[in-house]
Structure 1
Amino acid sequence: MDEDRILQWPRHGVETLPWQQQVRGGTREDRMMRFVDATIPPFIRELDYMPPLKVMLHTERALLAVAQADTDAEGHSAALSRFMVRSESAASSKIERINASARDYAKALAGNKGNTSATSMVAASAALHELITKVGESGRFELDYLMSAHRALMADDPQEADYAGHLRDMQNWIGGSDHSPRGALHVPPAPERVPELMDDLIAYLNRDDVPVMTQATIGHAQFESIHAFTDGNGRIGRALVSAVLRRRGVTRNAVVPLASGLLARRDDYFAALGSHRLGDPAPLIDLFALSTRAAAECSRETIARLKAMPALWAADLKPRANSAAAALIQAFYDHPVMSTDEIEATAGSPTAAYRAIDQLVDAGFIEEITGRKKDRVWAASEVMAELDDLDRHIQADMHEGKQG
Structure 2
Amino acid sequence: MRGRYERRTWQYDPTLYAPARFRRACNYDTFLPDPLVGFEPTITTSIVGVVSDAERRLQRLGSGSTAALGPLARLLLRTESIASSKVEGLQVDARDLARGEARADTGGKLNATTAEVLANIDAMELAIDEATSADRFSPDQIVAIHRQLMTAAPNARVAGRIRTVQNWIGGNDHNPCGAEFVPPPPEHVEPLLADLCDAMADESLPPLLQAALVHAQFETIHPFDDGNGRTGRTLIHVVLRRRGLAEVFVPPISVVFARDRDRYIDGLTAYREGDVDRWIEIFATAAIQATDLASSYLDEVARLTERWRKMLRAASDPRADAAAWAIIDLLPAHPVITAAIAGAVTGRAKAAIHNALDQLADAGVLEAIAGGRRNRSWEPAGLLDLIADLEAGELPT
**What is the correspondence of 1:2-401 to structure 2 with a 5 Å cutoff?**
10-20=2-12, 30-72=22-64, 74-110=66-102, 111=104, 112-138=108-134, 140-159=136-155, 161-318=156-313, 319-321=317-319, 322-343=321-342, 348-350=349-351, 353-370=353-370, 375-394=375-394
Q: Deviations over 1:49-98 (max 9, x none)?
A: 12111111111111111111112352234322211111111111111111
C-alpha distance in 2 between matches for 1:355 and 1:153:
37
Secondary structure (helix, strand or coil) at the match of 1:12 reads strand
Range 148-157 or range 72-81, more displaced: 72-81
Matched-pair contact (CA < 8 Å) for 1:366–1:378? yes
Matched-pair contact (CA < 8 Å) for 1:216–1:245? yes
Return 5+ residue gaps in structure 2 as ranges: none
Q: Deviations over 1:225-255 (max 9, x none)?
A: 1111111100111111111111111111111
Q: 1:113 to 1:281 in 2, by over 3 A?
A: farther
C-alpha distance in 1 between matches for 2:65 and 2:234:
20
Q: 1:124 to 1:208 in 2, by over 3 A?
A: same
Deviation at 1:158, TM superposition (A): 3.5
C-alpha distance in 2 between matches for 1:20 and 1:298:
49
C-alpha distance in 1 between matches for 2:327 and 2:207:
40
Q: 1:243 to 1:141 in 2, by over 3 A?
A: same
Q: 1:15 to 1:128 in 2, by over 3 A?
A: farther
Secondary structure (helix, strand or coil) at the match of 1:38 reads strand
C-alpha distance in 2 between matches for 1:268 and 1:213:
19
Letter in 2 for 1:289: A
Matched-pair contact (CA < 8 Å) for 1:103–1:369? no
- Tell me the number of residue pairs that the alignment of Structure 1 and Structure 2 aligns: 383
Matched-pair contact (CA < 8 Å) for 2:255–2:393? no
Secondary structure (helix, strand or coil) at the match of 1:76 reads helix
Range 165-174 or range 33-42, more displaced: 33-42
Deviation at 1:47, TM superposition (A): 2.1
Matched-pair contact (CA < 8 Å) for 1:212–1:245? yes
C-alpha distance in 1 between matches for 2:276 and 2:324:
53
Matched-pair contact (CA < 8 Å) for 1:238–1:259? yes
C-alpha distance in 2 between matches for 1:174 and 1:222:
16
Identity over aligned pairs, percent: 31
C-alpha distance in 1 between matches for 2:395 and 2:80:
13
Q: Deviations over 1:158-195 (max 9, x none)?
A: 42x22211211122222224444344221111111110
Q: Deviations over 1:104-155 (max 9, x none)?
A: 1112322155333332221111111211221123354211111111111011
C-alpha distance in 2 between matches for 1:334 and 1:273:
32
C-alpha distance in 1 between matches for 2:146 and 2:177:
27
Q: 1:170 to 1:58 in 2, by over 3 A?
A: same
Letter in 1 for 2:97: Y
Letter in 2 for 1:329: I
Letter in 1 for 2:377: V
Secondary structure (helix, strand or coil) at the match of 1:62 reads helix
Matched-pair contact (CA < 8 Å) for 1:12–1:277? no
Deviation at 1:381, TM superposition (A): 4.5
- TM-score, normalising length from structure 1? 0.86
Letter in 2 for 1:34: C
Q: 1:99 to 1:11 in 2, by over 3 A?
A: same
CA-based RMSD: 2.6
Deviation at 1:374, TM superposition (A): 6.2
- TM-score, normalising length from structure 2? 0.87
Letter in 2 for 1:384: L
C-alpha distance in 2 between matches for 1:280 and 1:288:
13
Return 5+ residue gaps in structure 1 as ranges: 1-8, 397-404
Q: 1:371 to 1:35 in 2, by over 3 A?
A: farther
C-alpha distance in 2 between matches for 1:177 and 1:76:
50
Secondary structure (helix, strand or coil) at the match of 1:39 reads strand
Letter in 2 for 1:74: T
Deviation at 1:311, TM superposition (A): 3.2
Deviation at 1:211, TM superposition (A): 2.4
Matched-pair contact (CA < 8 Å) for 1:51–1:282? yes
Letter in 2 for 1:330: D
Deviation at 1:204, TM superposition (A): 1.1
Matched-pair contact (CA < 8 Å) for 1:107–1:370? no
Secondary structure (helix, strand or coil) at the match of 1:378 reads strand
